[in-house]
Structure 1
Amino acid sequence: MVVPTSPARSPQDLDEVITGGIGDSPPRPDGTLKVRGEFAYSSDLWARDMLWGATLRSPHPYARIVSIDIGPALAHPGVYAVLTHEDVPGENVYGLKVADTPALAEDVVRYEGEPIALVAADHPETARRALRAIVVDYEVFEPITDPERAAHDDTLPHLHPGGNVVRHQPITRGDPNARADVVVSDVYTVGMQDQAFLGPESGLAVPDEDGGVDLFLATQWLHVDQRQTARALGLPLEKVRFTMSGVGGAFGGREDLSMQIHCCMLALRTGRPVKMVYNREESFFGHVHRHPAKMYYEHGATRDGRLVYVKARMYFDGGAYASKTPVVVGNATSLGVGPYEVPNVAIEAWGLYTNNPPCGAMRGLGAVQPAFAYESQMDRLADALGMDPVRLRRINAVAEGSTTHTGQVLDYPAPVAELLERLERLPLPPEHRAGPVDVRELPGGGSNTTHGEGVVRGVGYGVIIKNISYAEGADDYSTARVRLEVVGGAPIAMVHTAAAEVGQGLVTVQQQIARSELGVERVNIHPNDTDVGDAGSSSASRQTYLTGGAVRDACRAVRETLFARVARRFGEDPADLSLSGGKVVSATAGVLADLVDVLGDDAIEETREYHHRPTWAMDPVSGQSPRVHVQHAFSAHRAVVDVDTELGLVKVVRLDCAQDVGRAVNPDAVVGQIHGGSAQGLGLAVMEEIRVRDGRVRNPSFTDYLIPTIVDMPPMTVDVIERADPHAPYGVRGVGEPPTISATPAIVNAIRDATGLNLTHIPVGPEHICRIEP
């Protein structure tokens, strides 16, 4: 279905009763509060007798801590605690994949902004003044900032005991020495991108009489935060209880810990509730970013456009600590040739430690960087062949039954060629007419920099492959508890999971599934906390698949228990029963009973885990595996851009998308996710980059780190294709990340088409278009 931008709801619709099951588009239950500015985010938390926490951070990328004097800070009026690594009650280490990150630096700081000490005070300004009173003496070292050198130069200092390589992964398939008629090669670089969520890191820790602590916070994965925090606090899991508060965006940046351990340490030390809220500058230092990358690519093809081989070497800068670097390397190599059939592949990638800011999960992790490279290469190859770039992509596209370069057979729909064909059929926007032009439609917009002089137009395509859910042998699952009961004289379902609602609309999807499976309209979502089984992270576009599967299975278990009860009462076969409109219906006898009558005061509650099909790790030498990823998603964009070649300014005129979503559980939400992902892809293409020099961040603010606004987003037509995955609950396929990935190369290819320039770095800035030397 082709879906234009959805119209806004009218004010009279805001108070309507929310209904609708799978395939409908009910409004978000949190939507009205958010647009009215009334939604409670974690930064809005408050408690009686609350103290404020603050963090002292390293000003150096690489240095030895000679001494720390906290005396002047402790003497400051209004200060209740000053803590260093010596005060960490348990193990002073955490990490998502590798436990290598200290909660508070001990002897060495490895990046600018690393936490060193904590303060709790009766006012946030008092806490900040106390931080300035802490005296730290450093022996400063020369930072390691070149990841490619870190991969191969053994003379460099080892930032961690195992060396500077976090992971090295090669993949070989076919003939590594294959030759081709036409060869193109280049070196591509990707800058460091920030998740740029609008709600900064924040939380409120409340000490408990049992010696434990309750933390109310914004995160992406409650249980992994709980496990890492409990380890640092030296407490059993049951004494470290986490509850989700309102999350103002995430995009991977909340997968790693930020203030969790620190806030709990201060609350336990002072015996008072402690609140921590980062300001925007601290947020840039307090969470991980997208990995910068340097990638050497070579493509070879026959004269009729058939790919013969792809060779690539990729270097990913993980910064000071590992975070998700091993996963980024795995995704980059296993997805590194794109959605194409290639008989001969030789790829290897390194993830490295440096003294640059730590990098970890960000939307599309590990797939974004190679997609820019391989899609740039496909345009370069098409130009060398004198072939239409869309035709080149179509004749090499994977399809259901194809085998990837890791040896995995795609046993589900893979409509890559169809996505491209659908985009080609969409009408292009009209060229600028002669005569007066609205400058808001030109590069530079309202700044009135041009009236069309030196402006050229280009069209570009990008199509990508992205893994869904965790991979390489991870036991990826989610847990759901569903309770069906009578409240206020009506049947109601309560769904309880630990799955993080980070803005993606998961709360709506869970309600839709429960309504469809249980035949009731009233569905409440229990606050997310660690009092229910793990749901994994809200990342890898996995929650509708995994938590949706868990909610479905728990609902079906409730239904089976209910039907067994009804069957005993009415002498019916449970197989003949169904639920509809709050009534139990028999295929033979019609309506048997109202749910209120059947349930009475006896609620039914069931808990289920949903695990997806097994995956296996790639061979460490060949990279082969029967199933690296449980599912792949496919997305394509066509971008139309206007470029002012004199000033180097770009205006994205149109950004159309075709994407296979498997099954659209909530069609309006699907389109919204595609819009949002496309905006982030646009940001990486032409504006978003954390500038790091000698290990120091030069632009830690939204004044100097630019993100797209509504003015920058062009009109979009979204063509949603539903090709159900037979192995997934309801046939769903992850939606949020793929458009982020395909938008970027489409825009860059359009700029290349307009200017004829060989663009090898993203984001593309005026200096690249005007060839200004740095």
Structure 2
Amino acid sequence: MTTTGTTRASRASRTAGGIGESTLRPDGVLKVTGEFAYSSDLWHEDMIWGHTLRSPVAHAAIRSIDISRALAVPGVHAVLTHEDLPTAVTTYGLEIQDTPVLATRKVRHHGEPVALVAADHPETARRAAGRIRVDYEELPVVTGEESALAPGAPLVHEGRTDHHSGHVPHPNILHRQPVLRGDATAAARRAEVIVRGEYIFGMQDQAFLGPESGLAVPAEDGGVDLHVATQWLHSDLGQIAPVLGLPESKVRMTLAGVGGAFGGREDLSMQIHACLLALRTGRPVKMVYNRFESFFGHVHRHPARLTYEHGATRDGRLTHVRCRIVLDGGAYASSSPAVVGNAASLAVGPYAVDDVDIEALALYTNNPPCGAMRGFGAVQACFAYEAQMDKVAARLGLDPVEFRRINAMEQGTRMPTGQRVDSPAPVAELLRLVKARPLPPERGWENGDGTADVRALPGGLSNTTHGEGVVRGVGYAVGIKNVGFSEGFDDYSTARVSLRTAGGVPVATVYTAMAEVGQGGVTVHAQIARTELGVERVTVRPADTGIGSAGGTSASRQTYVTGGAIRHACETVRAQVLERGRRLFGRDHPGWAEAGLRLVDGRVVTGGGETLAELAEVLGDEPAEAEVEWRHRPTEPLDRLTGQGDGHVQYSFAAHRAVVEVDTELGLVKVVELACAQDVGKAINPLSVIGQIQGGTTQGLGIAVMEEILVDPVTARVRNPSFTDYLIPTILDTPTIPVDMLELADDHAPYGLRGVGEAPTLSSTPAVLAAIRAATGLELNRTPVRPEHLTGT
């Protein structure tokens, strides 16, 4: 790793373990050794087990459900269908409440929940569920744009009345967002080169380590306590309570250990189901999905069809971009409207183009529901616009990196939405950094004796090639991603901080509802408290709904927004401490009247470093405490007709250079290196930042060469819901990932930081595809690339 650039220094102290240091995770060793308690490890002495019966077909009317044989199974405590739901509220959803808790008159996708079983053993619950008889009348399926928008097409949701339904030309269009700026038609007439392309992006699974799980415990007050792995406690709460018919105060939620998320836990899975069974039986109910169930229990990344047209002058200046992005949202809305907004507003990429004509839309189909996944909307667009940039460069006879640098946006550039980028946008510099890195050795797979090390070759330990027909390719890509919730969403976080004396030592306690899903907030929160309060000992309390919302752990927003809330709470606490000191020691006491007093290493010091008092002496027995809600600067909705508006809080940028080796005879690919350069604004925890960049890069690699959920185009059934058939990168597939990290402060953000986790997922995919194209000379307009695409078989 190398770090370059400038940062804005903190006004506060430099206590050990603070901002800018590579602090180790307190849960790291436990996770590596297997001792960490995940939500699937929860236990209650008298608990029973829940199981969900799911539809085996994608679209069908439900004629009848017979649960009698299931109820007769010994050990079964309850069987619930939609008729047993306690309130008139029977649907939920992140934005549009269109997802049934349990299917009512019909099912709309393969794997939709139909009934629930509670039993004294998980296998008993599964066996009983298998005895439930559901009479399905199969209906025609909608599987893509052609079948969704054809005359007389079946409607996935009849009688839609949501807030998008009045603005779309067809009921099977979930949401549509155009972005129009300048005159793309006139600009096309000025173009000396026009390049068009159509691209297919596959459906990707989040493939997190820990399947959906949780424990619901009925309470004496008629409420329920839910311990669950999720990304947003308060969003879950707002959807769960109405279905249960309980006030939110009686649905108490605590974050359990989360085994990864990547967007897949933004929507509900087993939360309502476990609570319903617990309240019906009066017993704690645990639910744990197996991997097969998990593929049906959460949303996936939207597959997409993207059609692009780029125009340019002979000297390499882009004249215009036209594009149409069609996202398959599946059977229910989830976060598809936000994904459409991201895809539309970021469709051109990190380039300065005055004339654009963009349309993005999401469809309702009978395919599996799709929603949030790392970099949503921007990932699909980046794959297409970066392929286009390579094609235009080739037509012009320009180096692909130089062509990008000619058109790179910079601070002050206006986005296609009209929003001015008012913080550093070092696109050209990121490209320069990745290109300047030394390339790995040309024949790095050779042993010292001239034989081939098959581990480093395409096909790896399968021993399929010894270097025959292996060709190297190098490719580049760069991407832009928004940070934070957009388009006028009231995005805020709540934090409570207390500073007290314990055993004569000052101790800070940080309390938020932030979901720690592996992103590293558990270290960052302590680092901020150490920096702002000058104490070494910091306790970060478990997240629950006993405090106000922290928003979702998504959109690369938590360090920005919850970190910002903690910082402001600490500033309030620090002010309380200093005011208390002035009262105790007298305002006229030398030094206490100074405006620049700080807390450093458990002491109150002047700007010149003179110690005025020990912090414990100032605190005494009375803690200093503060709770704050903190919001970033406001955004605004995009205009429905033109897409104009300041829709985003912040932008992040990353570039990749991929080096691949391809066995052109067998169609096998080995990614040798994926070098990344990214501007992070300020690395709060450099070690964690590098981990996020490398993790996001690896997920982008997965969608490039192996990951895709396959849905039968005739029946809309999922064909590969297991890690036997759905492949993800292992350590043997993961290349070297060197990182260049810029720290160019965004003056609008706490500490100048910039969201990190999503941007590298964008550009790694098209960089790998570009490298494979360079090696093979093939067009390769879809993800993932499979062997048959390279060999023509």
TM-score normalised according to structure 2 size: 0.94
What's the CA shift for 1:588? 7.6
**What is the distance in 2 between the residues matched to 1:406 and 1:586?**
48
Equivalent residues in 2 for 1:434-473, closer than 5 Å: 435-473=450-488
Distance 1:672 1:161, change over 3 A: same
**What is the distance in 1 between the residues matched to 2:433 and 2:65?**
63
What's the CA shift for 1:259? 0.3
What's the CA shift for 1:752? 0.4
SS in 1 for 2:95: coil
**What is the distance in 2 between the residues matched to 1:680 and 1:60?**
30
Q: Which residue of 2 aligns with 1:92?
A: 90
What's the CA shift for 1:715? 1.1
**What is the distance in 1 between the residues matched to 2:91 and 2:606?**
58
Q: Which residue of 1 aligns with 2:617?
A: 597
2:183 pairs with one of 163, 175, 187: 175
| 1:710 is the counterpart of 2:731 | yes
Q: Which residue of 2 aligns with 1:382?
A: 393
Is the CA contact (8 Å cut-off) linking 2:108 and 2:156 kept in structure 1?
no
SS in 2 for 1:457: strand
Per-residue CA distance 1:553-591 (angstroms, 9 max, x = gap): 001111111111111111232624211111112348932
Q: Which residue of 2 aligns with 1:323?
A: 334
SS in 2 for 1:692: coil
Amino acid at match of 1:324: S
Distance 1:545 1:107, change over 3 A: same
Per-residue CA distance 1:371-399 (angstroms, 9 max, x = gap): 00000000111111111000000000000
| 1:113 is the counterpart of 2:111 | yes
| 1:72 is the counterpart of 2:72 | no
| 1:228 is the counterpart of 2:239 | yes
Is the CA contact (8 Å cut-off) linking 1:174 and 1:344 kept in structure 2?
yes
**What is the distance in 1 between the residues matched to 2:105 and 2:617?**
67
Q: Which residue of 2 aligns with 1:612?
A: 632
Per-residue CA distance 1:599-653 (angstroms, 9 max, x = gap): 222111100111011111111111111x110100000000000001111100001
**What is the distance in 1 between the residues matched to 2:270 and 2:503?**
41
**What is the distance in 2 between the residues matched to 1:520 and 1:368?**
41
Amino acid at match of 1:720: M
Is the CA contact (8 Å cut-off) linking 2:142 and 2:156 kept in structure 1?
no
1:675 pairs with one of 674, 686, 694: 694
Is the CA contact (8 Å cut-off) linking 1:148 and 1:315 kept in structure 2?
no
SS in 2 for 1:330: helix
2:704 pairs with one of 685, 694, 697: 685
| 1:262 is the counterpart of 2:273 | yes
1:244 pairs with one of 238, 255, 279: 255
Is the CA contact (8 Å cut-off) linking 2:198 and 2:781 kept in structure 1?
yes
Is the CA contact (8 Å cut-off) linking 1:147 and 1:316 kept in structure 2?
no
Amino acid at match of 1:548: G
**What is the distance in 1 between the residues matched to 2:315 and 2:726?**
44
**What is the distance in 2 between the residues matched to 1:3 and 1:548?**
22
Is the CA contact (8 Å cut-off) linking 1:3 and 1:671 kept in structure 2?
no
Per-residue CA distance 1:226-285 (angstroms, 9 max, x = gap): 110001111100000100010000000000000000000000111110000000000000
What's the CA shift for 1:436? 2.0
2:30 pairs with one of 33, 53, 64: 33
Q: Which residue of 2 aligns with 1:15?
A: none
Amino acid at match of 2:553: S
**What is the distance in 1 between the residues matched to 2:232 and 2:555?**
12
**What is the distance in 2 between the residues matched to 1:431 and 1:317?**
41
**What is the distance in 1 between the residues matched to 2:515 and 2:149?**
36
TM-score normalised according to structure 1 size: 0.96
> Where does structure 1 differ by over 6 angstroms across 4 or more consecutive aligned residues?
none
Q: Which residue of 1 aligns with 2:373?
A: 362
Equivalent residues in 2 for 1:286-365, closer than 5 Å: 286-365=297-376
Is the CA contact (8 Å cut-off) linking 2:234 and 2:551 kept in structure 1?
yes
1:123 pairs with one of 121, 124, 129: 121
| 1:486 is the counterpart of 2:484 | no
Per-residue CA distance 1:702-760 (angstroms, 9 max, x = gap): 11110001111111210000000000000010101001111000000000011000011
What's the CA shift for 1:183? 0.9
What's the CA shift for 1:448? 1.1
2:424 pairs with one of 410, 413, 420: 413
Q: Which residue of 2 aligns with 1:9?
A: none
Q: Which residue of 2 aligns with 1:546?
A: 561
SS in 1 for 2:595: helix
**What is the distance in 1 between the residues matched to 2:150 and 2:488?**
29
Is the CA contact (8 Å cut-off) linking 1:563 and 1:574 kept in structure 2?
no
Amino acid at match of 2:299: V
**What is the distance in 1 between the residues matched to 2:172 and 2:224?**
36
Query: Does 150-159 or 726-735 show the bigger shift?
Result: 150-159
**What is the distance in 2 between the residues matched to 1:660 and 1:644?**
34
| 1:733 is the counterpart of 2:754 | yes
What's the CA shift for 1:153? 4.2
**What is the distance in 1 between the residues matched to 2:608 and 2:271?**
57
Per-residue CA distance 1:647-694 (angstroms, 9 max, x = gap): 110000111000000000001111111110011000000000001103
**What is the distance in 2 between the residues matched to 1:229 and 1:556?**
35
Query: Does 174-183 or 316-325 show the bigger shift?
Result: 174-183
Amino acid at match of 1:538: T
What's the CA shift for 1:159? 2.7
| 1:562 is the counterpart of 2:577 | yes
Q: Which residue of 2 aligns with 1:524?
A: 539
Is the CA contact (8 Å cut-off) linking 1:567 and 1:574 kept in structure 2?
no
Is the CA contact (8 Å cut-off) linking 1:398 and 1:414 kept in structure 2?
yes
**What is the distance in 1 between the residues matched to 2:350 and 2:470?**
33
Is the CA contact (8 Å cut-off) linking 1:659 and 1:720 kept in structure 2?
yes
Q: Which residue of 2 aligns with 1:164?
A: 172
Per-residue CA distance 1:502-538 (angstroms, 9 max, x = gap): 0011100000000000000000011100001100000
Query: Does 477-486 or 433-442 show the bigger shift?
Result: 433-442
What's the CA shift for 1:142? 1.7
2:771 pairs with one of 744, 750, 772: 750
- The percentage of aligned residue pairs carrying the same residue is 64
Per-residue CA distance 1:17-52 (angstroms, 9 max, x = gap): x95000001100111111111000000000011000
What's the CA shift for 1:454? 1.1
Amino acid at match of 2:330: G
Q: CA RMSD in A?
A: 1.4
Distance 1:654 1:346, change over 3 A: same
SS in 1 for 2:99: coil
Gaps of 5+ in 1: 5-17
**What is the distance in 1 between the residues matched to 2:452 and 2:252?**
59
**What is the distance in 2 between the residues matched to 1:453 and 1:299?**
38
Q: Which residue of 2 aligns with 1:62?
A: 59
What's the CA shift for 1:430? 1.6
| 1:50 is the counterpart of 2:34 | no
Gaps of 5+ in 2: 5-14, 161-170, 587-591
Is the CA contact (8 Å cut-off) linking 1:564 and 1:574 kept in structure 2?
no
